[in-house]
A = this chain, B = another copy of it.
């Protein structure tokens, strides 16, 4: 996460929370993985308290679940839950795109285009991690441009839940994740809210197809909901 601030987490104190968020989004956890506070504490070179704090926050975000009081895991993502998240994202990112189209400055457009260029480079280099980060950076730029911090926080949480599931689907997706970003930028340039909204919806629907397909295939055996 070099220059595009992936997620504005760690809004309050909590370095561990931020690190775990990153890990989640970068796909360094697999659905079903079990987390142990003491292990993480050792891993992070700290005591259990900060880890517990982070875990608690993540659990509150529903990014991790307590299957039983002593069994902390990365939850699966059922198809119905994915569809729900997708429907919410459509509404919310649609709102963000509309608003952004109305207020976007040329500097905003340039920032988006810079992300797009870097994303192209990442795809060309086959850098899956950087690809997902830049895809995410693009999506989070819209509410930021629109000046909608609450919306940003909601999307951040949703992303946390999808994190462990999208990174695996990235390679099969290939260019699917970025192709639909260009029409968004075009719509923002023309200050066309309706077009911007439709473009981002297209991206969510079509760009997310590989993820949905992966969930539909066999992955739900792990998909235990909280």
Contacts and interface: CB of A to CB of B under 8 A. Distances in A.
Interface in A21-60: 52-53, 56-57, 59-60
A99 B218 CA distance: 28
Nearest to A58: B60
Contact of A62 (B53, B84, B87, B153): B153
Contacts of A13: 66, 69
Contacts of A85: 150
A56 B59 contact: no
Interface stretch (A88-96, A116-124, A172-180, A186-194): A88-96
A226 interface: yes
A19 interface: no
A92 to B, nearest CB: 6
B81 A88 contact: no
Given A13-B66, A91-B91, A91-B92, A150 B57 contact: no
- What is the interface residue range for chain A against chain B? 35 or more
A106 interface: no
Contacts of A107: none
Contacts of A59: 12
A88 B84 contact: no
B226 A11 contact: yes
5 contacts: A53-B53, A56-B56, A62-B153, A84-B151, A150-B161
Interface of A: 11-13, 52-53, 56-57, 59-62, 65-66, 69, 80-81, 84-85, 87-88, 91-92, 94-95, 147-151, 153-154, 157-158, 161, 226
Closest 3 CB pairs of A and B: A91-B91, A57-B60, A12-B66
Given A13-B69, A53-B56, A88-B154, 14 more contacts: A11-B226, A12-B65, A56-B57, A57-B57, A57-B60, A62-B150, A80-B147, A81-B149, A88-B95, A88-B150, A91-B91, A91-B94, A150-B158, A154-B157
